[in-house]
Structure 1
């Protein structure tokens, strides 16, 4: 009986020595996509003076935890001073695990706190990693980037997700409009032109009914509805017509001026003198070619006969036409074929030239 009482006292003493520290409170896992952090609260006012508190976190797969016998816990965080432990790289997304946590200060320890965790079920789904809104012809094109897991992978590789797009006019009292989209691009139609709309997107998964937080708000102004007004069509038509007519006139003017320059430069309206043209023609390529063809013949110098006529003033004698007609003898003598010279005065001692025989005169 004494031995049993002594054993109870010893056990109580051991328990009071080893379990003197309180256990951590509010132990939970905050997991988003594939990042998992174990967090807890600690009553710092209960911490003994001049004693430092350290925390230890261990894990084990759930199927091993259910097995009888000694359990092989694996260390995650050992003797850390903070109140959180990141074990993202230790567990698999589709696995089931048990985690345990305790506080320790010197030889004093707290009881273990054990929780169960499954990432696929308990981890939250994150919002889209990026949302971009572009205005196109009165519509808004929303580009949505998938939530990202570790190692820069999309969460679509781990579970099926879709998006809920919520948008509204950026005015007071405007109602929200939601749209479900399973692709990464959503088109918002039926919007008012030249109006500012704000957009937020939420990620969702139906397997465990997960809903993420909404992405940051993005606001963009719409443009026109894509239909050109009639007045703008008419204005564009007349502007095009005016530009076409003006361009045609300008081209015609340029062609005309170019034609005039070429014509007056190479085909002038005046003609050079013939003698200058002949001299120029002698030096033309065709003339030189003709000379080369006739180089085996004798070259002749061709000259033209030039008649020089001078103006002569004829002095007429005062003999009238009647006198010529009434003096046939003198006219006959003047035009006779005799070559002698006669004197008009008898016995004047003039020179008598050789002429016709005297008989002709007597016969007369």
Structure 2
């Protein structure tokens, strides 16, 4: 397998390159009868899109979804759902100078070593453009999760460089281009990004995702753990270099008496585990975080080599993000939603007749 497909029962296969004619995906395993229309993809695709603020890449794509199959009279039929988005704002000429050069920090070198050929235009298949179709597929997943289980998946930017939120308000997240949970800090973020862009450099970020309403029992022991699949899915996002579930790496300085989530009949006293124990959901909110590296495409010259084996200095041209984390929130939400819908269907297939076990902590 070439690993362009994701999931076991709710599977998503993506295709296309950054500067090709189109990108697309095929969703297989979506239950029939789910109401869905092309207009429902607009909101989340706009949240992920470039060119929406001066702090992201200025590539402007319409990102209009075409439903090619799997939907009839506004409802899913249970057959494969094919989605297509045509690329309309490619500037391949920006990449002419690097066609024979490996950009430091990019997948140019590894794709060349693996395949013996690469598409240098915008990074080809390794471009974050590919994540557009993950977000599109997750529109279907999110709707099914909400309608059938009341599950809501949402995320926020939890750190930008050395700046952390001074407060938290979910309503603030959707009211600024950073998905930042503290409105008062947005001007400071804009100032920091303006200075970074002028310097020609980039910075890393941290994004957190929360799924509320997940019932207990999703996930499988040992090799199909819910947190294991979440970690794999989130690590598949471009530029992600670390994943945490719950408190994650902060657990290294905690004591067992602090980290364990004690139980009462009226609920858990904490959620350090991120809503997952033994690879299976507890009924609490499922919480995960990702760390994204600083963008490698910057205006500061970097040392590299070319196809002739010669030493060169590389200055990346084109339209790039000074911080890829700014628009990673809807992508991280998408991967969590796709994992959850897959596990929901897997749980239903194996344990659908188990029912609600008592006692149940709420």
After TM superposition, the score normalised by the length of structure 2 is 0.20
Where relative contact order (Cα < 8 A, 6+ residues apart) is larger, the structure is: 2
Question: Is the helix fraction higher in 1 or 2?
Answer: 2
Question: Is the strand fraction higher in 1 or 2?
Answer: 1
Higher radius of gyration, 1 or 2: 1
